Amino acid sequence: MRDAQQLLADAKVIAVVGASRDPGKAAHSVPLQMQRYGWRIIPVNPFVNELFGEKVYRSVAEIPFPVDLVNVFRPAADAPDVVRDAIAAGAPAVWLQLDIVSPEARELATEAGLDYVEDRCLAVERAVGALTRI
């Protein structure tokens, strides 16, 4: 299983479940920062049509091309369903943002052979590793 730094180093396309259009929320600022550092961000939110210059999808399974990482900005109670969606879409990795922990999601991901990170922030890990795709 790849660790957080290796997941980010390997990823090019990140689906962000729960991406927000509210600039005051981490679910907006973190994906935007990752995009500015060169990752392609694919927002997933059933209530928005476009974010970060990208089409927004209602679920990970609706994204018509492969994603390298599914990043989750949803409550822990929603995480198992997001992992199921990621598995159905063939995504190789799931990352739950800071303060999101789900033993059920972890078990589902592990049983399916997905790389899994929880309770860590993409932007913090990017900065710690001085990672960029530019």
> pLDDT, tens digit, for every residue of 55-114?
999 999 999 999 999 999 999 999 999 999 999 999 999 999 999 999 999 999 999 999
Please compute the mean of the pLDDT values over residues 37-65 and round it to a whole number. 96
pLDDT of residue 134: 67
Q: Which CATH architecture is the domain 4-128 placed in?
A: 3-Layer(aba) Sandwich (3.40)
Q: How many CB atoms lie within 10 A of CB 7?
A: 23
DSSP 8-class letter at 97: P
Helix (H, G, I), strand (E, B) or coil at 71: strand
pTM equals: 0.94
User: Over the chain, what is the mean pLDDT?
Assistant: 94
Structure tokens that stand for 106 in this block? 């972890």
Would you state the pLDDT for residue 2? 79
Q: Which long-range contacts (CB under 8 A, 24 or more apart) does 110-113 make?
A: 112/83, 112/87
The residue extents of the domains of the chain are 4-128
C-beta separation of 43 from 57 below 8 A: yes
Rounded to the nearest 5 percent, the helix, strand and coil shares of the chain are: 40, 20, 45
